[in-house]
Amino acid sequence: MYDNWENLEKSIIGCKKCKLCNNRTNIVFGYGNKNADVMFIGEGPGADEDIQGVPFVGKAGKLMDMAFEGLGINRSEVYIANIVKCRPPQNRVPEQDEADSCLNYLRNQVILVKPKIIVLLGSTALKNILGRELSITACRGKWIEKKGIHYMPTWHPAALLRDENKKIEFWRDLKQVVEKV
């Protein structure tokens, strides 16, 4: 674990801990306010993120930004990261060994940001952070407190692109976050 961003960011350069390194263009480390009260954790970079090296800049990210705008959140006020930092081929779900290899980087980011609230975007984030037995359908919209951090599991923004009905739930979940900060 590193006690400063510079060393943590340096340690990740050229990472070869898992096979996702073979096809990546960029490591997508994280984006936003390194002292944020609210942190968002997604699954892993897609094609746009891989090219730009920034999380949630593709279609799903645009939708998330629209929700942010409606709720008065600016993406530069929060901190955004993913379970894995390199793009899984064809945007498949990260395999367990890939997530496990990458999680210590994310844990270190959480320690440095010290967020009050972590929004878990979708099943992969929920399972890897709070427990493999948990289901996003059962947990979404409900606060879970662990070691002083309040977690809000919600839909992954890509799920909203496939199912319009999830948009209102996503909005309500983020509204709870805004009201709690």
User: Where do the H-state alpha helices sit in the chain?
Assistant: 5-12, 47-52, 59-71, 96-113, 123-130, 136-139, 157-162, 165-180
**Among the candidate windows 37-45, 66-74, 112-120, 169-177, which touches ligand URA by CB under 6 A?**
37-45
Q: Which of 30, 32, 45, 94 binds ligand URA (CB under 6 A)?
A: 45
Cβ atoms within 10 Å of 127's Cβ, excluding its own:
21
Residue 3: CB minimum distance to ligand URA, A: 26
Q: Which is nearer to ligand URA, 3 or 43 (CB)?
A: 43
Q: Of 87, 81, 92, which Cα lies nearest the Cα of 32?
A: 81
Using DSSP's 3-state secondary structure scheme, residue 24 falls into: coil
Residue showing the smallest CB distance to ligand URA in the complex? 42
Q: What is the CA radius of gyration of the chain?
A: 15
* Positive/negative CA dihedral, 158, 92, 26, 126: positive
Binding track over 95-114 against ligand URA, x by CB under 6 A: --------------------
Q: Is 55 in the site for ligand URA (CB under 6 A)?
A: yes
Candidates 5-13, 44-52, 138-146, 170-178; binding stretch for ligand URA (CB under 6 A): 44-52
| Cα 161 from Cα 177, distance rounded (Å) | 22
Q: Which of 20, 27, 43, 78 binds ligand URA (CB under 6 A)?
A: 43
Binding stretches for ligand URA (CB under 6 A)? 42-46, 49, 55-56, 58, 60-61, 82, 158
